[in-house]
Amino acid sequence: MNVLPPSVADLSDEDLLELYTAGTGAPWLRVNFVATLDGSASAAGVSGSLGGPDDLRVFDLLRRVADVVLVAAGTVRDEGYGPMVLHDVDVAWRRSRGMPDHPVFAIVTGSLSLDPASRVFTEAPVRPIVLTSTSAASSPTAAALRDVAEVVACSADGDEDSVDVALVREALVSRGYGTIHCEGGPTFLGALVAADVVDELTLTIDPSLEGGAGPRIARGSSPELRRMRPVHVLRGDGDVLLTRYVRAR
Ligand SMILES: NC(=O)c1ccc[n+]([C@@H]2O[C@H](COP(=O)([O-])OP(=O)(O)OC[C@H]3O[C@@H](n4cnc5c(N)ncnc54)[C@H](OP(=O)(O)O)[C@@H]3O)[C@@H](O)[C@H]2O)c1
């Protein structure tokens, strides 16, 4: 008796896109993570060594269908993100459906510790969006970033030094970016969970034990458990499991 889930290798890109877009709403906030069996979101400080080729294949497909790729500044810095440029095959797919060639790159930061001269901005095919607090958005640092990005204040009334992640979501949706694809990281996911604005988690389980030094995929505190409903599980190269859960509301 085979109790393992279907293999990604047997599925075309269109099959996968059908699976990953089934039941999505508008707006929709999807979060994508990889974790080890013992719950670490990184190995030696980055997530790049976790997952493998099929995880990367799905990672690219999820970017392909996104209006905006949302990443918090810690992950942008730690993972050495470059500009949000999709592969030619993804661009061709998007063009054929009347979508812009590339999704917008949106970065969440409280401190604005982002280098305006970095490739994230200088080589961006679409002007990125930096989402920050109201107080940071009126600082001199914000003025420099405004040359290369749209800087958006997302603080709740009376809390001008904090970023309200529900307002981050609203800011993107109000600009027409209803399909939001978030690539982390853990601090940001913790805030998204606390605000209960996650519609979907796609989690790749890497069949390894990290030992305990790495972070979990979410860091923070939530007033209550956010129940998720499994939608599918697939098996990928290197024996990873690619899971998809949506919020059970
Ligand atoms: N396994 C995976 O799939 C995965 C995915 C992503 C990241 N990671 C790993 O996670 C680690 C980084 O963890 P992290 O928790 O530092 O990541 P993070 O959440 O991306 O970064 C934290 C930083 O992002 C900004 N930020 C996040 N939430 C915010 C909020 N609610 N309000 C304002 N600013 C906010 C702040 O930036 P400022 O300091 O600029 O204010 C904060 O210091 C790295 O090792 C990375 O490799 C793993």
Minimal CA–CA distance to 68: which of 89, 49, 84, 50?
A: 84
Q: Is the pLDDT of residue 179 over 90?
A: yes
- Binned at pLDDT 50, 70 and 90, residue 217 comes out as very high
What pLDDT does 216 receive?
A: 97
Q: Is the pLDDT of residue 5 over 90?
A: yes
Rounded-to-5 percentages of helix, strand, coil across the chain: 30, 25, 45
Q: Is the dihedral of CA 159, 180, 99, 88 positive or negative?
A: positive
What pLDDT does 48 receive?
A: 85
For residue 191 and ligand 1, the question of a CB distance below 6 A is answered with yes
Query: pLDDT for 27-72, tens place per residue?
Result: 999 999 999 999 999 999 888 889 999 999 999 999 999 999 999 9
Please state, for a pLDDT cut of 70, what percent of the chain lies above it. Answer: 100
The CA distances from residue 223 to 28, 138, 154, 182, in Å, are 22, 31, 21, 22
Q: Average pLDDT, stretch 172-182?
A: 98
| Closest ligand 1 atom, residue 33 Cα | 3
pTM above 0.95, yes or no: yes
For residue 185 and ligand 1, the question of a CB distance below 6 A is answered with yes
What pLDDT does 7 receive?
A: 97
What pLDDT does 191 receive?
A: 98
Taking CA atoms only, the protein residue closest to ligand 1 atom 33 is 110
User: CA-CA distance, 105 to 85, in Å (whole number)?
Assistant: 9
Q: Is the pLDDT of residue 81 over 90?
A: yes
Helix (H, G, I), strand (E, B) or coil at 34: strand
For residue 41 and ligand 1, the question of a CB distance below 6 A is answered with yes
For residue 184 and ligand 1, the question of a CB distance below 6 A is answered with yes
For residue 205 and ligand 1, the question of a CB distance below 6 A is answered with no
What pLDDT does 52 receive?
A: 95
For residue 215 and ligand 1, the question of a CB distance below 6 A is answered with yes
Q: Average pLDDT, stretch 101-116?
A: 98
- Residue 94 CB contacts under 8 Å (≥ 6 apart), including other chains: 64, 86, 100, 101, 102
Q: Given its phi and psi angles, is residue 212 left (phi above 0), alpha (psi -120 to 50 degrees) or beta?
A: left
Q: Is the dihedral of CA 112, 116, 117, 119 positive or negative?
A: positive
Helix (H, G, I), strand (E, B) or coil at 201: strand
For residue 49 and ligand 1, the question of a CB distance below 6 A is answered with no
User: 188, 189, 216: which to mutate for ligand 1, most atoms within 8 A of CB?
Assistant: 188
User: 187, 193, 204, 210: which to mutate for ligand 1, most atoms within 8 A of CB?
Assistant: 187
Return phi, psi of residue 50, to 5°. -100, 150
Please state, for a pLDDT cut of 90, what percent of the chain lies above it. Answer: 96
Angle between helix 13-21 and 53-64 (nearest 10): 60
Q: Is the pLDDT of residue 22 over 90?
A: yes
Query: pLDDT for 223-237, tens place per residue?
Result: 999 999 999 999 999
- Binned at pLDDT 50, 70 and 90, residue 246 comes out as very high
Please tell me the distance between residue 234's alpha carbon and the centre of ligand 1 in angstroms.
Answer: 27
What pLDDT does 72 receive?
A: 98
Please tell me the distance between residue 189's alpha carbon and the centre of ligand 1 in angstroms.
Answer: 8
List strand residue ranges (DSSP E) for the chain, in order: 28-36, 68-72, 104-108, 129-132, 150-153, 179-182, 200-206, 228-236, 240-247
User: CA-CA distance, 187 to 143, in Å (whole number)?
Assistant: 26
Q: Is the pLDDT of residue 74 over 90?
A: yes
